[in-house]
Chains A and B, each alone.
Chain A
């Protein structure tokens, strides 16, 4: 089964808006938070996690978009 390209684009745009909103909250949290996890500041973990998300998003969206039709 193929996805409609336009629907997928709308879903991805919504995802960007929601992701953007949470990023604003996350930045405020990180800038004023002294928390550490496993001996490292949260900022480092967030940088590593965002790197991993970046790869995962690339792979997942590649698979989804290569299975779309106009």
Chain B
């Protein structure tokens, strides 16, 4: 039966979000720099919320609880371990370096930084687009899976209807939004989900009793609290997944470019620390354990996505209407991530490809229209991937998305901090890393974990990319001193 009240709450929130995006759209001034990176004028508060809102997605809000309940605790363990000693401290260094270069040299797209550092204008921009589209398709897909699980688990509307509804809303917002619009709606979204996470963490012990986590540990589903993955998988993922998130993920780089000053960057890093505690540590432990306590055996109800267990649980625990109010946090988190990805992809297609590669002599408005249509196409492919998810969204992310992002990030990291890195090293590091990722994942070792050593799926391609960057840089001539002076004064 369709729950009309809960559905009405959801629709009302979506309309509010669309309105916030529209206000931002009206306030966006003309020009590419304004449109894609808000001319580098976002202050401390806006940067904090837009960075956190883009960072946190359905992966954290519902995915980690689901993976704890269905697969076990180690998937959350390595995630939370990346925060205090890798991502948070390194963001103060790497993200600051990315921002300071962008501020000085007026970058708009992530590839602007690479081209400025190593040259090779057209090949770098084309390769970057291809490498970014691959993980972003799945990244958009998992957001749609998370949101569609709400509509089916709480409102009783079929899952696939949810995918279609949220895809349409995403398309409208992609069509409206420049980064200022995204930042405005991100403040609304960030406040929504941070508040709702706190409410959830307080609510569960009140409803289930303070000892429910201990009861879950001792219950029939206690096995989920004992790690069973090979330790080398967790260790390889810990470092190779974690480091890129300190400022080298494409849609987060655009947010860094938009920051006004270094305090805004530090506030973004602080925001990651806050998220680490609330969304990556406490929320999954509280919710995942609650599910194990409430349903020691998986529920009999047929689900399309395993994330529906979480939404069904809240619907039964606190009624569909209150469950929907809580899950608005998920809608907020998922949409802000989709928008962050969309604005970055639009900038890459518009600036890197249409303007700087194809050198099309069309009006800015026409170029933007073409770019948005192509991004909508990417979103549609993402929606297609969300129609029948074979795994929980955390597994999809760890297997398909994070490897793609790590292969992109490490050669850039080396170029940012090592003078000797040169154009052939970085370009071939990217190219060979990405090709080996595709080969290993789909052709050579298509079975999990896509290597014979039980390492994290992205380990071998990332290490190959790093090795090629170093070796090729050392055996080919260094970059000219004039170019290096701008990076290493």
Contact = CB atoms under 8 A, between A and B. Distances in A.
Nearest to A55: B277
B121 interface: no
A31 B227 contact: yes
Given A23-B85, A44-B225, A39 B214 contact: yes
Contact of B281 (A40, A50, A59, A61): A50
A55 B217 contact: no
Given A47-B281, A51-B280, 10 more contacts: A12-B92, A20-B239, A44-B213, A47-B80, A50-B281, A52-B277, A53-B84, A55-B274, A57-B273, A62-B266
Nearest to A29: B231
A54 B79 CA distance: 12
A26 B78 CA distance: 11
Interface string B339-355: 00000000000000000
B400 interface: no
A27 B85 CA distance: 14
A65 B392 CA distance: 38
Interface in A31-62: 31, 36, 39-41, 43-44, 46-48, 50-59, 61-62
B90 interface: yes
Contacts of B76: 47
Contacts of B365: none
17 contacts: A16-B89, A16-B90, A23-B235, A31-B74, A31-B227, A40-B213, A44-B73, A44-B213, A44-B225, A51-B280, A51-B281, A53-B84, A55-B273, A57-B85, A57-B88, A57-B89, A59-B273
Nearest to A36: B217
A50 B217 contact: no
B77 A65 contact: no
Contacts of B419: none
A23 B270 CA distance: 22
Nearest to B214: A39
B100 to A, nearest CB: 10
Contact of A66 (B88, B226, B263, B285): B263
A48 B84 contact: no
Contacts of B25: none
Interface of B: 73-74, 76-78, 80-81, 83-86, 88-90, 92-93, 96, 213-214, 217-218, 225-227, 229, 231, 234-235, 238-239, 262-263, 266-267, 269-274, 276-278, 280-282, 285
Interface in A1-23: 9, 12-13, 15-16, 19-20, 22-23
A24 B235 contact: yes
B285 A58 contact: no
A66 B213 CA distance: 39
A58 B80 contact: no
What 8 A-B pairs have minimum CB-CB distances, sorted nearest first? Answer: A58-B273, A51-B281, A54-B276, A19-B85, A53-B84, A54-B83, A51-B277, A55-B277
Given A44-B225, A47-B285, A62-B267, A54 B89 contact: no
